[in-house]
């Protein structure tokens, strides 16, 4: 194979003879370079397309995750808002209940004030931990939670106070052991109705219609409910604090040993059992195991 080369000078021509191996190598170069360029171009374009698809897919995924996060945040915000509304309603009810109880209990003004937020104070001490401040909604929820806790503590103290006062009132011995009746015999020395001799009367007798109600003058626990040769059917109640009362000559006892009775509860029916001349209630009061005059307890006002 010959290659003729023309030069610019003098129009001269030169010829080159190319052997078989040189010709083959030249053919490979001339044909291979375009093919190589085509292959590289395809790979570049294909790689660019793949990168573009992956980028678009990544953007779609990010958008989906952002949308999911937004929906979750909205749901949490709605839940927190609902919780805050419920806490506010609960706080209003607690304040209303507290004000009503303080009025009913006739407590001193300002002792339990549910109309104002609790007064707080103390030196400012910088926290060692430095954390980001919570959002306004979370801060409001924390404040409401603290107010509810404070109100709950006040109500618990008030409830205990009222319970103790109620218990004290219930166990306070006052009043008569019958609803309807009249005083028949006082406490102390008197003429015995059977012998006519002067004898000591350990209680007060209230005459009443047979079968009418005998009531407890204070709350307590029944320690005796039995028959007795002298007292007939009798009930004895322990009121605590060293006090006890006895109700005798009953037609029937309506309580048994161990029963817890309330103030004013019917415990027996008026009768004339035992050493008795007619339907009445023989009423005794014990203080620290000793019989005392019931009149001071009958005539004192209930608390």
Give the sign of the dihedral formed by CA 54, CA 60, CA 61, CA 66. Answer: positive
Residue bearing the bigger pLDDT, 141 or 118: 141
Q: Taking residues 249-265, report their average pLDDT.
A: 94
pLDDT at 82: 76
184-193 residue pLDDT tens = 999 999 988 8
Which residue do the tokens 């990544």 mark?
58
Which residue do the tokens 């009367």 mark?
201
User: CATH number of the domain at 182-298, out of 2.40.420.20, 3.30.565.10, 1.20.1250.20, 2.70.70.10?
Assistant: 2.70.70.10
Contacts within 8 Å (CB) and 24+ apart, 234-238: 234/274, 235/267, 235/268, 237/261, 237/267
Q: Taking residues 245-255, report their average pLDDT.
A: 97
Is residue 4's pLDDT more than 80? Answer: no
pLDDT at 232: 96
Minimum mean pLDDT range among 80-84, 220-224, 259-263: 80-84
Distances (CA, A) of 83 to 21, 87, 151, 247: 90, 6, 18, 58
- How crowded is residue 3: how many other Cβ atoms within 10 Å of its Cβ? 11
Q: Taking residues 227-255, report their average pLDDT.
A: 94
pTM over 0.75: no
87 is written with which tokens? Answer: 């806490």
156-199 residue pLDDT tens = 666 666 555 555 566 688 899 999 889 999 999 998 888 889 99
Give the sign of the dihedral formed by CA 207, CA 211, CA 212, CA 218. Answer: positive
pLDDT at 102: 64
pLDDT at 192: 87
Task: Please name the residues in contact with 83: beta carbons below 8 A apart, sequence gap of 6 or more.
Answer: 141
Is residue 213's pLDDT more than 90? Answer: yes
Q: Taking residues 195-220, report their average pLDDT.
A: 93
pLDDT at 131: 45
Q: Taking residues 68-74, report their average pLDDT.
A: 76
Is residue 216's pLDDT more than 90? Answer: yes
Give the sign of the dihedral formed by CA 133, CA 136, CA 137, CA 139. Answer: positive
Average pLDDT value for the chain = 76
153 is written with which tokens? Answer: 């503590």
Q: In 3D, which of 253, 283, 276 has the Cα closest to residue 265?
A: 253
């Amino acid at each position: 194979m010959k290659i003729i080369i023309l030069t610019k000078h003098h129009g001269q021509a030169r010829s080159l003879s190319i052997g078989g191996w040189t010709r083959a190598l030249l053919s490979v170069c001339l044909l291979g370079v375009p093919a190589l360029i085509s292959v590289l171009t395809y790979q570049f374009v294909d790689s660019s397309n793949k990168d573009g698809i992956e980028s678009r897919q990544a953007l779609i995924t990010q958008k989906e995750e952002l949308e999911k996060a937004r929906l979750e945040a909205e749901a949490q915000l709605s839940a927190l808002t609902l919780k805050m509304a419920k806490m506010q309603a609960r706080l209003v009810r607690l304040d209303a209940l507290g004000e009503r109880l303080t009025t009913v209990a006739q407590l001193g003004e300002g002792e339990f004030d549910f109309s104002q937020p609790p007064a707080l104070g103390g030196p400012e001490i910088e926290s060692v931990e430095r954390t980001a401040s919570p959002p306004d909604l979370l801060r409001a929820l924390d404040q409401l939670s603290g107010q509810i806790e404070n109100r709950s503590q006040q109500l618990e103290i008030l409830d205990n106070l009222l319970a103790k006062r109620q218990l004290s009132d219930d166990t306070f011995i006052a009043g008569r052991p019958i609803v309807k009746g009249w005083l028949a015999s006082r406490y102390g020395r008197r003429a015995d109705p059977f012998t006519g001799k002067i004898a000591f009367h350990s209680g007060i007798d209230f005459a009443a219609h047979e079968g009418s109600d005998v009531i407890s003058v204070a709350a307590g626990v029944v320690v005796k409910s039995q028959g007795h040769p002298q007292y007939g059917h009798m009930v004895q109640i322990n009121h605590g604090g060293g006090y006890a009362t006895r109700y005798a000559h009953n037609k029937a006892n309506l309580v048994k040993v161990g029963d817890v009775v309330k103030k004013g509860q019917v415990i027996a029916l008026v009768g004339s059992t035992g050493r008795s001349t007619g339907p009445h209630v023989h009423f005794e009061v014990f203080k620290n195991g000793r019989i005392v005059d019931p009149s001071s307890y009958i005539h004192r006002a209930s608390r």
